[in-house]
Amino acid sequence: MEVSCHEIWREISNYLDNDVDPRLRERMERHFASCRHCAALIDSTHNMLVLIGDNRAFAIPADFGKRLYGKLAAHLASSR
Protein backbone atom coordinates (compact mmCIF):
# COMPACT_ATOMS: atom_id res chain seq x y z
CA MET A 1 0.00 0.00 0.00
CA GLU A 2 1.23 3.45 -0.91
CA VAL A 3 1.63 5.99 1.87
CA SER A 4 0.35 9.47 1.17
CA CYS A 5 2.17 12.74 1.76
CA HIS A 6 -0.22 13.29 4.67
CA GLU A 7 0.85 10.06 6.34
CA ILE A 8 4.49 10.87 5.73
CA TRP A 9 4.18 14.14 7.55
CA ARG A 10 2.17 12.66 10.37
CA GLU A 11 4.96 10.15 11.00
CA ILE A 12 7.92 12.31 10.09
CA SER A 13 9.22 12.97 13.58
CA ASN A 14 8.94 9.28 14.47
CA TYR A 15 10.72 8.44 11.24
CA LEU A 16 13.58 10.79 12.04
CA ASP A 17 13.76 9.40 15.58
CA ASN A 18 13.99 5.90 14.10
CA ASP A 19 10.78 5.09 15.86
CA VAL A 20 8.56 3.69 13.12
CA ASP A 21 7.69 0.12 12.27
CA PRO A 22 10.27 -1.24 9.78
CA ARG A 23 7.54 -1.92 7.24
CA LEU A 24 6.23 1.62 7.50
CA ARG A 25 9.78 2.91 7.24
CA GLU A 26 10.23 0.99 4.02
CA ARG A 27 7.01 2.37 2.58
CA MET A 28 8.01 5.87 3.59
CA GLU A 29 11.37 5.45 1.90
CA ARG A 30 9.62 4.26 -1.22
CA HIS A 31 7.49 7.39 -1.08
CA PHE A 32 10.59 9.60 -0.80
CA ALA A 33 11.98 7.89 -3.88
CA SER A 34 8.89 8.74 -5.90
CA CYS A 35 7.83 12.08 -4.39
CA ARG A 36 10.37 14.82 -5.01
CA HIS A 37 8.64 17.25 -2.74
CA CYS A 38 8.71 15.01 0.34
CA ALA A 39 12.27 13.97 -0.48
CA ALA A 40 13.39 17.62 -0.54
CA LEU A 41 11.57 18.38 2.68
CA ILE A 42 12.99 15.39 4.50
CA ASP A 43 16.42 16.36 3.30
CA SER A 44 16.20 19.80 4.81
CA THR A 45 14.59 18.48 7.98
CA HIS A 46 17.33 15.91 8.29
CA ASN A 47 20.02 18.54 7.80
CA MET A 48 18.42 20.61 10.51
CA LEU A 49 18.44 17.64 12.91
CA VAL A 50 22.08 16.96 12.12
CA LEU A 51 22.86 20.54 13.12
CA ILE A 52 20.88 20.15 16.33
CA GLY A 53 22.66 16.88 17.11
CA ASP A 54 25.89 18.75 16.59
CA ASN A 55 24.95 21.22 19.34
CA ARG A 56 24.67 24.00 16.84
CA ALA A 57 20.91 24.41 17.08
CA PHE A 58 21.23 28.13 17.61
CA ALA A 59 22.80 28.57 14.20
CA ILE A 60 19.49 27.58 12.60
CA PRO A 61 17.47 30.51 11.28
CA ALA A 62 14.60 31.18 13.63
CA ASP A 63 12.03 30.98 10.85
CA PHE A 64 13.26 27.68 9.45
CA GLY A 65 10.45 25.65 10.94
CA LYS A 66 7.87 28.16 9.85
CA ARG A 67 9.13 28.13 6.28
CA LEU A 68 9.30 24.34 6.26
CA TYR A 69 5.73 24.00 7.45
CA GLY A 70 4.60 26.71 5.05
CA LYS A 71 6.00 24.65 2.20
CA LEU A 72 4.44 21.52 3.61
CA ALA A 73 1.04 23.16 3.92
CA ALA A 74 1.24 24.37 0.33
CA HIS A 75 2.21 20.89 -0.86
CA LEU A 76 -0.61 19.20 1.04
CA ALA A 77 -3.12 21.74 -0.22
CA SER A 78 -2.07 21.13 -3.82
CA SER A 79 -2.19 17.33 -3.48
CA ARG A 80 -5.69 17.26 -2.08
Helices 5-16 and 22-34, interaxial angle, to 10°? Answer: 120
Shortest CB 62 distance to Zn ion, Å:
26
The residues that touch Zn ion, with contacts defined as CB under 5 A, are 5, 35, 38
Q: Give 11 or 38: the residue with its C-beta nearer to Zn ion.
A: 38
Q: Which residues contact 38 (CB under 8 A, 6 or more apart)?
A: 5, 8, 9, 31, 32, 75
Q: Give 5 or 11: the residue with its C-beta nearer to Zn ion.
A: 5
Shortest CB 31 distance to Zn ion, Å:
6
CB atoms within 10 A of CB 56: 10
Q: Give 15 or 38: the residue with its C-beta nearer to Zn ion.
A: 38
